[in-house]
Amino acid sequence: MTVYANPGTPGAKVTFKPRYENWINGGWVKPVKGQYFEDISPVNGKPFAEVARGTAEDIELALDAAHRAAPAWGKTTATERAAVLNRIADVIDANKELLAVAETWDNGKPIREPLNADLPLASDHFRYFAAAIRSQDGDHAELDNDTVSYQFHEPLGVVGQIIPWNFPILMAVWKLAPALAAGNAIVMKPAEQTPVSIMVLIELIGDILPPGVLNIVNGFGLEAGKPLASSPRIRKIAFTGETTTGRLILQYASANIIPATVELGGKSANIFFSDVAQEQDSFYDKAQEGFVLFAFNQGEVCTAPSRALLQKPIYESFLGSAIERTRKAIQGNPLDTDTQVGAQASNDQLEKILSYIDIGKQEGARLALGGERVDLGGDLSGGYYVQPTIFEGNNKMRIFQEEIFGPVLAVTSFSDYEDAISIANDNLYGLGAGVWSRNGNVAYRAGRDIHAGRVWINNYHHYPAGAAFGGYKSSGIGRENNKLALGHYQQTKNLLVSYSEKPLGFF
């Protein structure tokens, strides 16, 4: 067990600056209007740093820098860009604890997660795209004896990226790595709930990238995000968030006729077939843990397995054990490596979760565990903590249909295979799902029949670089985490070449 010291206290891994400016053209730039906002730590509900409150004027400065940098960066070789990405990965690895403490303080997540997931995944992600860009070939076709079609991948130029607050560093990296690998310059707007940890990262990696290749402007969605998303000076916009803003982003993109990728969340079903409980063995233990993963990152995951579907013969026994396992989850100081459940990322998120617990009760769902805000006492008393909560109900209830983005699980039963697939697919979203069965044929068929972009079979919440991630239905457009993402940041150039001396003969 390790308890990391609070940032800025003796022995701390990180000391935040009192104020973070925007990062533009390889340096810190004050916001044009001179305004700042406070970043609040969800760990204790207290402000800990000031952050630039960027506006359209700052977005323009960042776009100026990006447009100056893009031509040269786009002409670098894949070898050179891959080397840059690998150096960034090395710096992340070398500063893992520092970044983990910063991430936990900004977001509220238990530090075991950034230490063992967010940051190792982030560095590996850069290495994956370093490899992907080096191994990416163009192609050619010999259309006839004298005519050859050559296809080249070209960067788009300057792209915009808007990042969510649930994995502030990792979600930024998911978008940065393919865009940089493909040779684009970037203007990024982090979430206003978690604006600082990414700036701590840029302090470490800023000098690895040429000035202007990566620019970060903080601020509110209305004041900084919208001017970026609607700018005619970007050639692509990428966004992770909710559906209304997703539609607005697509609307702005249509006005500028640029591509957009949007990841808009889900309401993932986690299906447990009866044969899971055939033996009380290590696999059963793994499946039980797979159920409890709804509380991973306090449920603030787009693919949180927040609908558990249990086959009727095992419903009581499996649920009973899983409730006991969830009850034992350690909720406490997020900087303690023993802590399994930390703080929700913001006060408004806390309020939203409590409002869903309320509607769940009104709809007649049975509260099987939790359901309350937690006061951890002492310095943590002002933090945003919610008990892991389990409801039993049916799939028509709002708690089964909307992404609560909290540690709230909705459980129901199913009779047979068709019933399971029907319930799983009776939802607006299709980002993730889980299937647990000892029967490989059943698991495979279920995985193919569920309308979701990622189906975990006999595991959950793994996000290895290389496995494509993205949504079906209202969960969005595009794929990340795989070399497919390069295509979202590249233009195709076709050179159609004639090697014949003969005229065409029309005129």
Partner 1 sequence: MSPAAPATSTVIASVTVPGETTPRVEFTPAAVDVLRELQTQFGPLMFHQSGGCCDGSSPMCFPAGEFITSDRDVLLGVLDIAPADEAPQPVEFWISAEQFEYWSHTFLTVDVVPGRGSGFSLEAPRGVRFLIRSRLMESFG
Rg (CA), the chain: 24
Contact between 432 and 302 under an 8 Å Cβ cutoff? The reply is yes
Q: How far is the CB of 302 from partner 1 (least distance, A)?
A: 5
Mask for 168-187, x = binds partner 1 (CB under 8 A): --------------------
Q: Which of 256, 274, 401, 458 binds partner 1 (CB under 8 A)?
A: 401
- Contact criterion met (CB below 8 Å) for 115 and 97: yes
User: Whose Cβ is closer to partner 1: residue 161's or residue 184's?
Assistant: 161
**Count of residues that interact with partner 1, criterion CB under 8 A:** 53
Structure tokens at 274: 């009866």
Give the integer Cα–Cα distance in Å for 191 and 141: 44
Contact residue for partner 1 among 104, 412, 475, 490 (CB under 8 A): 475
403 among known catalytic residues: no
Query: Binding segment for partner 1 among 97-105, 206-214, 218-226, 497-505 (CB under 8 A)?
Result: 218-226
**Least distance between partner 1 and beta carbon 226 (Å):** 5
- Choose, by CB under 8 A, the member of 31, 110, 164, 447 that binds partner 1: 164
As a residue count, the chain comes to 507
Report if residue 402 touches partner 1, rule: CB under 8 A. yes
- 168, 225, 342, 432: residue in contact with partner 1 (rule CB under 8 A): 225
Could you give the string, one character per residue 240-279, with x where binding to partner 1 holds by CB under 8 A and - elsewhere?
Answer: xxxxxxxxx--x-----------xxxx-------------
Q: Which residues contact 77 (CB under 8 A, 6 or more apart)?
A: none
- Cβ 12 to partner 1 shortest distance, Å: 24
**C-beta of 171: minimal distance to partner 1 in Å?**
10
- Check binding of 429 to partner 1 (CB under 8 A): yes
* Cα–Cα distances in angstroms (integers) from residue 207 to residues 123, 318, 372, in the given order: 17, 52, 46
Which amino acid is located at 335 in the chain? Answer: L
CB atoms within 10 A of CB 148: 15
Q: CA torsion angle for 93, 98, 99, 104 (degrees, to 10)? A: 140
Q: Should residue 348 be labelled a site residue for partner 1 when binding is judged by CB under 8 A?
A: yes
**Whole-number minimum distance, CB 402 to partner 1, in Å?**
6
Stretch of 98-106, 158-166, 407-415, 478-486 lying at the interface with partner 1 (CB under 8 A): 158-166
Select which of 21, 263, 300, 402 is catalytic: 263
Q: How far is the CB of 400 from partner 1 (least distance, A)?
A: 9
Residue 4 in the binding site for partner 1 (CB under 8 A): no
175 close to 261: Cβ distance less than 8 angstroms: no
CB of 189 to partner 1, least distance (A): 11
Residue 398 as a binder of partner 1 (CB under 8 A): the answer is yes
| 366 is a contact residue toward partner 1 (CB under 8 A) | no
What whole-number distance in Å separates Cα of residue 458 and Cα of residue 404?
Answer: 24
The first and second tokens of residue 432, run together, are 């993730």
DSSP string, 471-483: -EETTEE--BSSG
Whose CA is closest to 187, among 153, 223, 231?
Answer: 231
By beta-carbon proximity to partner 1, the closer residue of 82 and 237 is 237
Q: How far apart are CA 353 and CA 282, in angstroms?
A: 33
State how far the alpha carbon of 358 is from the alpha carbons of 162, 215, 265, 365, 366, in Å.
31, 42, 22, 10, 12
The backbone region for 418, taken as left when phi is positive above 0, alpha when psi lies in -120 to 50, beta otherwise, is: alpha
Q: What is the Cβ-side half-sphere exposure of residue 298, based on CA atoms within 13 angstroms?
A: 33
Nearer to partner 1, 248 or 292 (CB): 248
Beta-bridge mates of residue 270: 308, 434
For CA atoms 463, 467, 473, 475, give the dihedral sign: positive
192 binds partner 1 (CB under 8 A): yes
220 contributes a contact to partner 1 by CB under 8 A: yes
In the window 50-69, what residues touch partner 1 (CB under 8 A)? 53
Just list the catalytic residues: 263
The site for partner 1 (CB under 8 A) is made up of 37, 40, 53, 164-166, 191-193, 220-223, 225-226, 229, 240-248, 251, 263-266, 302, 346-348, 351-352, 355-356, 358-359, 362-363, 396, 398, 401-405, 428-429, 474-475
